[in-house]
């Protein structure tokens, strides 16, 4: 069956409403396009767990705190459509900015600590933009389940909190990071890396993996220093933050016994391209 494509809100709402009346379950994978195997793994999971799979492609302008980053973000709509069709996605929602934001939306949300640290600290306004667009998309599609990658782990926690705050019925499902064969976390931004930047970026992921095996052999502070020293040796890499934090609260962990489930989070520049990664310890 050919994938159906909608660009307007009312027609897709009507169509999905009809499917739900027939008793069909809806799985939703929101994206900003520039699709890679990480996105397709979300589509595959949604396919297994729902009758109908809906994806969206919308490069959300209000979540970019850097205007040039928004302008340079890869726009690959035709290849993306082909990838979705090949993955047996049933419906694509690809709205314009005007359709999503006929007027400015200045909704405010209280996420406690979750949006104050790491990405929230270094990208002011980013999570407000994410929360506004996800709220809109979940209200348009009204899925039973929505799927998000754990590479954006902080975003995943914020979206779970958002659905609680707004009492939205969608079940939010986090899916593991998909990595390239050499260990680099898949990202739409990887396409913008030069050969040398790509070779350096993968070394950051390898440092994280090596560090995971050292847990228990050194203190949290020693581990952070070890990672920082290892990353300083990598050419073309400029770290922005490194945090070892609790996986539920995102509060920094000072001692291993302070948290039952710790994760390392890193943001760094490979040349001028900003990337993030995380690893559960």
Question: Could you list the pLDDT tens digit for every one of the 281 residues in the chain?
Answer: 799 999 999 999 999 999 999 999 999 999 999 999 999 999 999 999 999 999 999 999 999 988 888 998 989 999 999 999 999 999 999 999 999 999 999 999 999 999 999 999 999 999 999 999 999 999 999 999 999 999 999 999 999 999 999 999 999 999 999 999 999 999 999 999 999 999 999 999 999 988 888 888 999 999 999 999 999 999 999 999 999 999 999 999 999 988 889 999 999 999 999 999 999 98
Specify the CATH number for the domain of residue 34. 3.40.50.620
User: Shortest CA distance to 242 belongs to which of 190, 188, 210, 204?
Assistant: 204
The pLDDT value given to residue 153: 98
Last residue of a domain, one of 141, 175, 209: 175
The pLDDT value given to residue 173: 98
Catalytic, 144? Answer: no
81 in the same domain as 169: yes
For the chain, how many structural domains are there in total?
2
Residues 227, 208: contact at Cβ < 8 Å?
Answer: yes
Evaluate whether residue 182 is within a structural domain.
no
163 in the same domain as 60: yes
Last residue of a domain, one of 175, 202, 229: 175
The pLDDT value given to residue 67: 87
User: Shortest CA distance to 200 belongs to which of 186, 184, 213, 180?
Assistant: 184
User: Shortest CA distance to 84 belongs to which of 60, 53, 59?
Assistant: 53
200 in the same domain as 171: no
47 in the same domain as 169: yes
For the whole prediction, is pTM greater than 0.85?
yes
Specify the CATH number for the domain of residue 267. 3.30.1300.10
249 in the same domain as 195: yes
Which parts of the chain fold into alpha helices (H)? 9-21, 37-49, 67-72, 77-86, 97-100, 119-122, 126-141, 153-166, 195-212, 220-232
207 in the same domain as 118: no
Q: Which of 39, 126, 144, 257 is catalytic?
A: 39
Range of the domain at 91: 4-175
Evaluate whether residue 57 is within a structural domain.
yes
Distance of alpha carbon 146 from its chain centroid, rounded? 12
The pLDDT value given to residue 128: 97
Evaluate whether residue 224 is within a structural domain.
yes
Alpha carbons 40 and 88: distance in angstroms, whole number = 10
Q: Give the CA radius of gyration of the chain.
A: 19
Residues 126, 32: contact at Cβ < 8 Å?
Answer: no
Last residue of a domain, one of 150, 175, 200: 175
201 in the same domain as 166: no
146 in the same domain as 193: no
221 in the same domain as 145: no
Evaluate whether residue 48 is within a structural domain.
yes
The pLDDT value given to residue 216: 81
Evaluate whether residue 180 is within a structural domain.
no
Residues 206, 279: contact at Cβ < 8 Å?
Answer: no
Q: Which residue has the tokens 């050499």?
A: 182
17 in the same domain as 68: yes
Q: How many CA atoms does the CB half-sphere of 165 hold within 13 Å? A: 16
Residues 46, 29: contact at Cβ < 8 Å?
Answer: yes
193 in the same domain as 170: no
Helix (H) or strand (E) holding 93: strand 91-93
160 in the same domain as 28: yes
């Amino acid at each position: 069956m050919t994938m159906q494509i909608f660009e307007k809100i009312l027609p897709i709402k009507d169509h999905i409403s009809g499917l739900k009346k027939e008793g069909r379950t809806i799985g939703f994978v929101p994206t900003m396009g520039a699709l890679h195997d990480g996105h397709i793994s979300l589509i595959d999971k949604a396919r297994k767990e729902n009758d109908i799979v809906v994806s969206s492609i919308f490069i959300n302008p209000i979540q970019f705190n850097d205007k040039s980053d928004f302008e340079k973000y890869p726009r690959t709509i035709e290849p993306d459509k082909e990838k979705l069709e090949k993955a047996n996605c049933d419906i694509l929602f690809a709205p314009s900015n005007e359709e999503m934001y006929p007027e400015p939306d200045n909704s405010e949300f209280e996420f406690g600590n979750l949006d104050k640290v790491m990405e929230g600290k270094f990208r002011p306004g980013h999570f407000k933009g994410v929360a506004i667009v996800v709220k809109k998309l979940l209200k348009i599609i009204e899925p039973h389940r929505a799927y998000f990658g754990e590479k954006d782990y902080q975003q995943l926690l914020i979206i779970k909190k958002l659905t609680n705050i707004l009492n939205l019925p969608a079940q939010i499902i986090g899916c593991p990071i998909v990595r390239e064969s050499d260990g680099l976390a898949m990202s739409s931004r990887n396409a913008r890396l030069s050969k040398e930047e790509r070779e350096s970026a993968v070394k950051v992921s390898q440092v994280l993996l090596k560090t995971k095996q050292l847990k228990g052999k050194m203190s949290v502070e020693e581990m952070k220093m070890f990672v920082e020293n290892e990353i300083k040796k990598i050419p073309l890499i400029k770290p922005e933050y490194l945090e070892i934090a609790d996986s539920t609260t995102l509060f920094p962990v000072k001692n291993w016994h302070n948290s039952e489930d710790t994760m390392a989070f890193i943001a760094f520049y490979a040349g001028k391209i900003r990337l993030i990664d995380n690893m559960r310890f």
